[in-house]
Amino acid sequence: MGDTLVECVPNFSEGRDESIINEITESILKVSDVTLLDVDIGYDFNRTVVTIVGTPEAVLEAAIVSTSVAIRLIDMTRHSGEHARMGAVDVVPFIPIQNSTMEDCISLSERYAKIISDRFGIPVYLYANSARSMERRRLPDIRRGEYEGLEEKLSMEIWKPDYGPSTFVPKTGAIASGARQVLIAYNINLNTNDKKLANIIAGKIRTSGTISKDSDGNKIRDNEGKPVRIPGMFQSLQAAGWMYDENTAQVSMNLLDHTVTGLHEVTDAVRLEADLLGLKATSSELVGLVPLQAMIEAGRHYNGNREIHDQNIILQEAVDGLGLNRLEEFVPAKSIIELAIRR
């Protein structure tokens, strides 16, 4: 059967100060029964995404100690970056991997939230499968207004945190934690520096779609006064336009369920929509790790020959077809969850 394993992917609001990132990762490496699989540093996002796998108790300990270091070293009053964020430790999800359940990870997220809020007096929101109301299931809803709007948000009864005080702590902000399935963070770069064009593509493909507007640019509302939305192409997909660097806009995506919407499907759609705008998709990147099956499906799509069963050939077809090797070398043994765990 093997060990009971869970994954944790904490996102820290620091991607520029190497000394801070090193202290955070070193604190994780000191925890027994935990493997640090990946450290993805984004300079323009000013954000670092860390992937940890291990036994449930060890992963919880690693999440707590790394959070403690980040809270001590990161000052949100000085933070700026492209990515949406509301705290020094922005989001801490727990994911079932092997012989573990969603209920196990919900419990871990609740224990994490209680310990961190009690120890540091920081507001913590529960999201995804840990959410206690439908309004808090989606991370973008909790994060709306970001750090700059957090003080006002905390003053509203409807946004009272699940753990900790309704107090704005300027240095640290707030944290979201929850349990979810494996999420694929995937970005496609475009040959433009116009973020609005990336946002147009994102609006067409994401599940939530776009808000319908009349010929004068005003929002169209239903009988209850709510904006009418035009649904996007795909289910279980979040997307937005961001900047990869000052010269490159990107469509930044979260694939919430790759068995519903796959990497190859969103890649082909972004390329098509880019062509319609006179643009080209130049490269792609994964933030963190990706499930093996998602890459296998992409490789079979781009190869087109279902008779090929050699995993290495299929994975290379996926890498080439998705454009994952255009920014830097893509190493399957480091970037695919199952292969990284074996390694």
Number of H helices, E strands in the chain: 11, 13
264 classed as catalytic: no
Secondary structure (3-state) at 230: strand
Shortest CA distance to 300 belongs to which of 283, 314, 320? 314
The Cα–Cα gap between 87 and 123 comes to 10
Which residue in 79, 83, 264, 309 is the catalytic one? Answer: 83
Residue with tokens 């904490």: 10
In degrees, to the nearest 5, what angle opens at C-alpha 103 toward C-alphas 99 and 106? 120
Residue 137 CB contacts under 8 Å (≥ 6 apart), including other chains: 127, 128, 131
- What are the angstrom distances between the C-alpha of 84 and each of 119, 177, 194, 252, 343? 25, 15, 18, 11, 33
Catalytically active residues are 83
